[in-house]
Structure 1
Amino acid sequence: MKITSALQKLGVTNPLIYGCMGLGGGWNQNPVSKDDIRQANEVIDTALESGFQLFDHADIYTFGKAEQVFGEVLKSRPELKKQMVLQSKCGIRFDAGTTPKRYDFSKEWISSSVEGILERLNIEHLPILLLHRPDVLMDVEEIAEVFSELQKQGKVGQFGVSNMSANQMQQLQSKMKSPLVANQLEMSLSKLDWLEQSILNNVGNAPGHSFTAGTIEYCQSQDVQIQAWGSMSQGLFSGRNVNDESQAVQQTAEKVRRIAAEKETSTEAVILAWLMKHPANVMPVVGTTNTDRIKAAAQATKIELSRDQWYELYVSARGEELP
């Protein structure tokens, strides 16, 4: 698959992204422990040895501890910084007692979020910053202004978004001086809305879906790297017990196992290769902290599914034949 020019300029040649959401000891208020740091070292080493180059963070992951523990590793082993490209996300604010969970793309919040990210990760420059979820109160001129300032200050290199539609991206891009380089979306063999929005075009009585039509095509035409979060479906097709799942899930899991055996690879590799087969050049985010599964996922870059195998898995996962 092709990696966009913006990411290639950063040195990214491997299409797999390591997602750091599971680091830091869990979604609690416990401080980072020695065991958390040990785990982070093992995970980072395994990911790097398996070929991962781009590491994905967000300021909210395990309440900031994922970035903090990663930063502890980089503090003790600064040579690792040259072996990786880091990205993080901001814009989600949790319940603060008097205010609910909300999204905040204000200049003040983005600026303070970047300061926190840099401090926790123990870095002075963040190669890529993504806006995490669309803020319906966003002022695109204000966002463009703070983006420009962060670039001039050398704190952030490139900008992107997450969970945004084509129209939202166009609106934001219209005020920005530099191009958006990525859009991170939920995409997997169990989350098919990104495909259904195309297949169900002009189909009467078709079931609804939650994906905005044209987003994939916009990203392709504008050289925006699509990144897939949730890409491994939490093990649904790669080892999890599916006895209580639907017939579609059970038969798809069996097909994944069969194809993996035929190709002498892992089931994780098959489901990630399925994503990467799409011409949108999807970069899957692999979020497991299990080192064996990280190694298994890395095998995806060594195989390619045929057109027939791709459609076999797609049709099986959707649970009914195509219209």
Structure 2
Amino acid sequence: MAVEIAPNGPLLSPIVAGMWRLNDWRLNVQARVRWLEEALALGVTSFDHADIYGDYGCEALFGEALKAAPHLKGQIQVISKCGIRLKGKAHPYLVNHYDTSAAYVRAQVDASLKRLDVERLDLLLIHRPDYLMDAAELAESFHALKKEGKVAHFGVSNHSASQFELLDRQWPLATNQLELSVLEHKALDDGTLEQCQAKRIRPMIWSPLGGGRLFTGKDAQALRVRALLEALAKDYGVSPATLAYAWILRHPSKPLPLTGSGRIAAVKEAVDALKVDLSREDWYRLWVACRGHDVP
């Protein structure tokens, strides 16, 4: 089921498991191993991390599972992100800020490799646009990390089309991880998805269920979308969550949605969306439900 996400880019599963809530799942080591095995059985082989997730703790929890079951390492692709400095007890910064300097990126990659208990990241993303980023310097860091065998491919997350282009001219990027859901349409209109199509790069999508708002929100927009989603889901014979993933997958940029749940049943709902053939008209019906008006 693996797909190439960019020309000469990494092979990832079409549904990626997001690990940012791993600490909240409260799974012991053996339960984490079972969860990984069950995800792999569904065809989900790619796992998305960031150094800061779980107050810098989620990568270590994942690494503990790999130490307990090292045979899984050859079956998975590990993704991580860096570039955000979050203040806390272990990091007494004066303010949260971004850092893409060569020294910081290298240090965070080394720390992630140690916490995850892997020798190489399949994909490293710059987590947020750094207003002080030196694109040439960062590209040199990418070159060194790849030469040393620590990172295979590089990309970005939450970058605008122009920010992506600046770095991509220095080093070919494999993806842009963006927010998109039936409730969040910014990426449809800001040029990032068009850029992905033009460069034949598949975007990764975070918060595909609107951070849970799709099913818990009480505002008029969420209620409109939920009502239509539930009605259409019955027509397609799938769950509303599966249809929400299918709405994202329908885009011609061929996105890779990230799950965020510790429930394997929820991961399966995302995988089931790969089989849904959502019509163009129904896609636009959900667009209209979100916007609250007809197309221009």
**TM-score per shorter chain, which class?**
over 0.9
Per the alignment, residue 16 of structure 2 pairs with 17
Question: Which deviates further from its counterpart, 144-153 or 290-299?
Answer: 290-299
Maintained 8 Å contact 1:59/1:113: yes
Superposed counterparts of 1:258-277, under 5 Å: 258-277=231-250
Question: CA 1:182/1:11 → structure 2, altered by over 3 Å: closer, same or farther?
Answer: closer
Maintained 8 Å contact 1:2/1:281: no
Maintained 8 Å contact 2:29/2:68: no
Q: Quote how far apart the aligned CAs of 1:184 are.
A: 0.3
Which of residues 137, 140, 156 in structure 1 aligns to 2:135?
140
Inter-partner Cα distance in structure 2 for 1:284 and 1:60: 20
Please state whether the residue corresponding to 1:89 is helix, strand or coil.
Answer: strand
- CA distances 1:121-173 after superposition (whole Å, capped 9, x unpaired): 10111110000001100111110111100011000000000011121122112
Inter-partner Cα distance in structure 1 for 2:201 and 2:11: 16
Q: Do residues 46 (structure 1) and 23 (structure 2) align?
A: no
Q: Quote how far apart the aligned CAs of 1:285 are.
A: 0.7
Inter-partner Cα distance in structure 2 for 1:60 and 1:98: 14
Superposed counterparts of 1:186-205, under 5 Å: 186-195=179-188, 197=189
Q: Do residues 314 (structure 1) and 291 (structure 2) align?
A: no
- CA distances 1:108-133 after superposition (whole Å, capped 9, x unpaired): 00000000110011011111000000
Taking only aligned residues, the RMSD between alpha carbons, in angstroms, comes to 2.1
Per the alignment, residue 201 of structure 1 pairs with none
Which of residues 121, 125, 129 in structure 1 aligns to 2:120?
125
Superposed counterparts of 1:15-94, under 5 Å: 15-25=14-24, 35-94=27-86
Question: CA 1:315/1:182 → structure 2, altered by over 3 Å: closer, same or farther?
Answer: same
Please state whether the residue corresponding to 2:231 is helix, strand or coil.
Answer: helix
Inter-partner Cα distance in structure 1 for 2:235 and 2:8: 32
Please state whether the residue corresponding to 2:174 is helix, strand or coil.
Answer: strand
Inter-partner Cα distance in structure 1 for 2:33 and 2:2: 30
Question: CA 1:297/1:214 → structure 2, altered by over 3 Å: closer, same or farther?
Answer: closer
Please state whether the residue corresponding to 1:322 is helix, strand or coil.
Answer: coil
Q: TM-score scaled to structure 1, two decimals?
A: 0.85
Q: Quote how far apart the aligned CAs of 1:48 are.
A: 1.4
Inter-partner Cα distance in structure 2 for 1:103 and 1:75: 31
Unaligned runs of 5+ in 1: 27-32, 198-212
Unaligned runs of 5+ in 2: none
Which of residues 131, 151, 167 in structure 2 aligns to 1:156?
151
Q: Do residues 249 (structure 1) and 241 (structure 2) align?
A: no
Please state whether the residue corresponding to 1:296 is helix, strand or coil.
Answer: helix
Inter-partner Cα distance in structure 1 for 2:219 and 2:55: 32
Question: CA 1:104/1:5 → structure 2, altered by over 3 Å: closer, same or farther?
Answer: closer
Q: Quote how far apart the aligned CAs of 1:98 are.
A: 4.8
Inter-partner Cα distance in structure 2 for 1:73 and 1:318: 43
- CA distances 1:90-118 after superposition (whole Å, capped 9, x unpaired): 00001244520000000000000000110
Q: Quote how far apart the aligned CAs of 1:7 are.
A: 8.0
Q: TM-score scaled to structure 2, two decimals?
A: 0.92
Q: Quote how far apart the aligned CAs of 1:24 are.
A: 2.4
Q: Do residues 236 (structure 1) and 213 (structure 2) align?
A: yes
Please tell me the residue identity of whatever aligns with 2:285. E
Identity %: 35
Maintained 8 Å contact 1:24/1:36: no
- CA distances 1:206-242 after superposition (whole Å, capped 9, x unpaired): xxxxxxx3222122111222011011113333xx344
Inter-partner Cα distance in structure 1 for 2:216 and 2:194: 35
Please state whether the residue corresponding to 1:185 is helix, strand or coil.
Answer: strand
Maintained 8 Å contact 1:260/1:270: yes
Q: Do residues 224 (structure 1) and 216 (structure 2) align?
A: no
Please tell me the residue identity of whatever aligns with 1:65. G
- CA distances 1:51-77 after superposition (whole Å, capped 9, x unpaired): 112111101100222111111111111
Please state whether the residue corresponding to 1:236 is helix, strand or coil.
Answer: helix
Inter-partner Cα distance in structure 1 for 2:176 and 2:29: 30
Question: CA 1:5/1:59 → structure 2, altered by over 3 Å: closer, same or farther?
Answer: closer
Please tell me the residue identity of whatever aligns with 1:236. R
Inter-partner Cα distance in structure 2 for 1:92 and 1:316: 35
